[in-house]
Structure 1
Amino acid sequence: MSRVEQPSRRIVLAAAVAAAVTASAGPAAAGPETSMTTDPADAARAVPARAVDNRAWTSHADWRSGTRRGTRAVAGTRPGLVIATPAGTRAYTDPHTGTTASWEYGTWTSPVHLLSVPATEAVVSWNAHTPSGTWLQAEIKGTYTDGTGTPWYVMGRWASGDRDVRSTSVDDQSDGRSTVWTDTLAIDDPSTGLRLASYRLRLTLYRKPGTQATPQVWRTGAMASDVPDRFTVPASSPGMSGELDVPRYSQEIHKGRYPEYDNGGEAWCSPTSSQMIIEYWGGRLTPGQLAWVDPSYADPQVCHAARFTYDHQYAGCGNWPFNAAYAATFEDLQGVVTRLGSLTDLETLIAAGIPAITSQSFLKEELTGAGYGTAGHLMTVIGFTADGDVIANDPASESNEAVRRVYRRREFENIWLRTKRYNATGKVVSGTGGVCYLYFPARPSAAQRTALAAVGVRA
């Protein structure tokens, strides 16, 4: 299970697709096991008003907007941002290796994005390729509803490898009214009514001096939200049945392996879930990429996912944007972090062939059949039964064969969407409020674009 409650991190507080979606292009969407029965009007009525604003910059026009210093937009089938003539050189001391090095850099700053939902939280994510000798930093600067602004907050320093710098979040960032908690910018006291009204993002791309190497960023954005505090959520009605053929991997068989990455497999729910969906979309690692893993270990790709989603400051593999960024290192994949509003949203995605990774916390007795309780855990939703119950690949299983589970709809929906819960000692603690990772093709089908748009995600 994921260590999402520890002193350095707070658990953050927290449709309609019918005939067109049944023509989905997911690898396992076709076949007799998949029966799509969602009625658009019924689905729309079941979805509550959204409390999420999910803005992404992905197009050539997007990258040409805002302010560029030492970077340029590139066109093509997958537009992006790269270093042009560097804006300058900076020294960076990696806090996890102690190594100081000089780096050429360029920056891109987005236009101001006015939030449709004045927000208590924001999560920044990015999709990029960082060849050897390069890395990037992502930042956000918000404007409060009283007209004042936040400082520039670092939301991640990241590379797809770990030879040049160590990917890391940055602790101890606060202005007394908002704070960065690993991967989430949060208003300190939402009861005051203070919210984020708008924000800008800034990307800084780095490379070794004198080289022509450059990161290429294909996607960046932020999910901002204001999910109301609640112990229970409204129940949705079943709308479809069907199951996607997603690979099954257990985190538990990796116990004790590579403890330098969050104490080994027992804490690898996030990268294990990520690897399942990556492989569903056809992502594969080469023998060369896996050569570092002990050859006696089964499913070495799970070890690889843990290593390359690891946040060296948080000391865990559960950094949400790092998982999405890892997924996007595979050819023709995108990854985003968002919040969804109900199981109806998940049904919409499953109907389009898009599985999802959900984050939840619960007592053992709150999720029948799980056999455990957790302060935070990621699992992969792959379908729904005819009765509307959730079919999940749960990595907290003793074997790959045991990963597929069926969980009661009402129980699952509540533990995933609530923002408040009681822990084992009766203390009120936080829930994740519908957090979800979505991985999908760089060039999704029309049906997939429709489904993603229906849950507020730009493809």
Structure 2
Amino acid sequence: MTRPTSRRTVLTAALAAGAGVVAAAGPAGAAPSRTSSSQAASSLVDNRFWTTHTDWRCGSTAGTRAVPGRRPGLVISTPAGSADYTDPHTGTTTTWEYASWTSPVHRPAVPATEVIASWNAATPEGTWIQVELRGSYSDGTDTPWYVMGRWASDDTDIRRTSVDDQTDGKSTVWTDTFSVDDAASGLRLVAYRLRLTLHRTPGTRLTPTVHRVGAMASDVPDRFTVPASTPGAARELAVPRYSQNVHVGEYPEYDNGGEAWCSPTSSQMIIEYWGRTPTPEDLSWVKPGLADPQICHAARYTFDYQYEGCGNWPFNAAYAATYEDMNAAVTRLGSLTDLEQLVAAGIPVITSQSFFKGELTGAGYGTSGHLMTVIGFTADGDVIANDPASPSNDAVRRVYRRREWETIWLRTKRYDANGAVRGGTGGVCYVYWPVDPSARQRRVLRSLGLV
């Protein structure tokens, strides 16, 4: 089958055009010549997350305070003021008290062409948060404050949303991704700050609690393929299997139903792998008799009302972190070896990739953007994935050829079935793990800059 076109193709098409790549002459879908990166994979990605009590006491505050404890956080102390917010998706104008925290300036080890923020927070009813980014360019100028998300775990106070039409002529925010418009020009983002604005119902003592905020900055070079990696040890994790296609036609108000739910379905698989599940009360809104109602729940609570889909990367991570003692981040990995290390430590990973039908043997479909869950590797190094684009839960486990899979995941440029150049995600993934990981898990996460 052919997967429906994703709204994220707006980003990938823009990236392909901005890079000025010209498709090689030849038949449609012809294999490009082998290329390799001139930089080590570890130098392409920079992760910086603020999570500790010390982190929350740095930067500048206006009405917030740091809360110590087993899981430190940032809360409203004394509101800095109040402001009206008109929800663009309901038309309702509501007055909110607010307080803010602005991170110290972070200078990523890699001057970046792309930045993706992600966060973990608790937002009780009557509260919500806004996450913004402002950066400095290599030409000495600054970006405006870009909104990277307006978010609440529920959808009653506000509709969680990305914000379109944010650009300064040098960079643009595409749903959840800050992107330099013309990477070939040499312009890069050399520093950035994040700003959190916490909102609550006026006159109450309610507060959101932000446990984690940060960003992945990267400068992954244009590449149609990547050097082949050497297989590591075989391991397979016991991750629950769920098919998005079981839910075709269900709740079409959330991205037309299950056929488009690859991201929340993958998120729910890993949440349950870590032993977390929604409560019967959480699921009480789902129509009785539907199979795997938790997938419907995940779709609703990852849905981005502006993007009109469930595939907003940070919104999926934020959803995962609403479960007890869970951390989550959006990042890029530099190689299949990095992914193998996570799996070997017992951490499955959700990966984003695109490919035309026939590029991934055994998939049976093509996609302009799809999420699947990597749960292991065979003795030959092939990838074991729980692929939600399957006809049933029993059919979700797939084994994909290593070389094909690492190419479609790690490349930034690809040819579509008509021979036109399109974008690729360059190793984007979601990583979810418990607040108290094992020593081995912590070592691997630290090596990747996630803790």
TM range (shorter): over 0.9
2:208 to 215, 220, 223: 215
Aligned pairs for 1:261-410 within 5 A: 261-410=254-403
For normalisation by structure 1, the TM-score amounts to 0.91
Cα offset, 1:411, TM superposition: 0.2
Q: Which residue of 1 aligns with 2:6?
A: 4
State whether structure 2 residue 148 is matched by structure 1 residue 155.
yes
For normalisation by structure 2, the TM-score amounts to 0.93
* 2:332–2:426 Cα contact (<8 Å) kept: yes
State whether structure 2 residue 428 is matched by structure 1 residue 435.
yes
Task: Determine what percentage of the aligned residue pairs are the same residue.
Answer: 70
Q: Deviations over 1:311-360 (max 9, x none)?
A: 00000000000000000000010110000011101110011100000000
Closer, same or farther: CA 169–3 of 1 in aligned 2, 3 Å: farther
The letter of the residue matching 1:339 is: R
Cα offset, 1:48, TM superposition: 3.3
The letter of the residue matching 2:250 is: R
* 2:9–2:369 Cα contact (<8 Å) kept: no
Matched residues in 2 for 1:433 and 1:5: separation? 18
Q: Secondary structure at the match of 2:108?
A: strand
Cα offset, 1:207, TM superposition: 0.2
Q: Secondary structure at the match of 1:123?
A: strand
Cα offset, 1:50, TM superposition: 2.9
Closer, same or farther: CA 118–369 of 1 in aligned 2, 3 Å: same
Matched residues in 2 for 1:297 and 1:437: separation? 27
Q: Which residue of 1 aligns with 2:130?
A: 137
Aligned pairs for 1:45-194 within 5 A: 48-194=41-187
The letter of the residue matching 1:354 is: I
Q: Which residue of 2 aligns with 1:418?
A: 411
* 2:15–2:423 Cα contact (<8 Å) kept: yes
Q: Deviations over 1:20-51 (max 9, x none)?
A: xxxxxxxxxxxxxxxxxxxxxxxxxx973430
Q: Secondary structure at the match of 2:295?
A: helix
Q: Secondary structure at the match of 1:92?
A: strand
Closer, same or farther: CA 328–451 of 1 in aligned 2, 3 Å: same
Matched residues in 2 for 1:80 and 1:456: separation? 20
Closer, same or farther: CA 139–119 of 1 in aligned 2, 3 Å: same
Closer, same or farther: CA 313–176 of 1 in aligned 2, 3 Å: same
* 2:268–2:295 Cα contact (<8 Å) kept: yes
* 2:8–2:369 Cα contact (<8 Å) kept: no
Q: Which residue of 1 aligns with 2:191?
A: 198
Cα offset, 1:13, TM superposition: 5.2
Which consecutive unaligned segments of at least 5 residues does structure 2 have?
17-38
Cα offset, 1:4, TM superposition: 3.4
Q: Deviations over 1:163-203 (max 9, x none)?
A: 00000000000000000000000000011100000000000
Matched residues in 2 for 1:76 and 1:198: separation? 30
Which consecutive unaligned segments of at least 5 residues does structure 1 have?
15-45
The letter of the residue matching 2:418 is: T
Matched residues in 1 for 2:448 and 2:227: separation? 17
* 1:137–1:204 Cα contact (<8 Å) kept: yes
Closer, same or farther: CA 393–13 of 1 in aligned 2, 3 Å: farther
* 2:43–2:109 Cα contact (<8 Å) kept: no
Matched residues in 2 for 1:48 and 1:204: separation? 34
Q: Which residue of 2 aligns with 1:241?
A: 234
| Alignment length (residue pairs) | 427
The letter of the residue matching 2:202 is: P
* 2:116–2:217 Cα contact (<8 Å) kept: yes
Matched residues in 2 for 1:235 and 1:416: separation? 13
Matched residues in 2 for 1:455 and 1:436: separation? 12
Cα offset, 1:12, TM superposition: 7.9
